[in-house]
Structure 1
Amino acid sequence: MATQRSLLEHAAGKPISAVQREWHAELGAPGAAASEHVMHAFHDLLNAAKDGSLHMMLRNTCISDVIGRAWTAQHLTMQPAIEALGEQLKRVAAGDASAPADGTDRGGSAPTGRRRPYES
C-alpha cells in the first residue's frame, strides 16, 4: 500500500531539493556549511510535519528563524517555498488542510494507488 503524504508534508518536503541544489552549487565555498545546516533544518521540519509536531516546533517562531534569517536573505529563490509552507501551516491551523497554498491542487485527497473504474 502506498503511503499518502499530507499537503503539509508535501509543502515541508518541497524546499529540501531546492536547498540540496544550493548546497551542491556551494560545495567547497564558505557558504556550503550554512546550506547544509539549512538542509538538515528542513528535514527536521518535514519530520515534524510527518509526526504532527510541526506547530509545536514552530511555537513562538517562524520558519525563517528555524532555518536562519541570514541564509534566507542570501537565497531569495527559496522565499516562495518558505511562504508556501507558511501558508499551508496557516491552513492546517485554521482547519482547512484540503488545498495547498501554492495553488497546485484544487483540493481532494491525494492518490492512494487505487483507481476508480471508468464510468460509462
Structure 2
Amino acid sequence: MARDREPPHIRISYTSITPGDPEDPDSYEEDHGWIDEEGIEFEPDENDLEDGMTPSESIVDQTVQFLKDEGAMSPSSTAFHIGVWYSTEFQVTDYGTGEEEERSFHLKSFSPEEEAAIYKEVTRRH
C-alpha cells in the first residue's frame, strides 16, 4: 500500500523542572521545548514485509518498540484519541541542581488506525 502522505515520524519534546528557593518548597523553574522537532521517521522494515506483515503493521511494531526503548510508556490520556502522546517519567538530569526532565514523544503523520494500534500496544498489560 503506497502512502500518500509524509512518512510517519515521532517528534520529541522535553519539560525540565529545577527546584527554586529552598525556603519555598513550591518554587521551581520550568523549561520546555523540542529535542527533535523534525522527528524520527519510520518506514516499513523489509524483513517484516517478508515475514508477512503489512507496511502499517511493521510501522506500528517499530514505533511501539522505539517508545518502549525510550521508556515512553505513559500516554497523555487514559482514553484513546487522535493526538495522544507518550511520555517518560521525570528523571534527575543534574544532581547538583536537582533538575528533572520528562521527555514526550508526539506521533505525526500516522494513520488513525496506526495511532489506535500503537495506543493499544503501549497500554496493554502483560
Name the one with the larger helix percent.
Answer: 1
Q: TM-score, normalised by structure 2?
A: 0.27
Structure 1 length as normaliser, TM-score?
0.28
Larger RCO (alpha carbons 8 Å, 6+ apart): 1
Q: Which structure has more strand as a fraction of its residues? A: 2
Question: Of the two, which has the highest radius of gyration?
Answer: 2
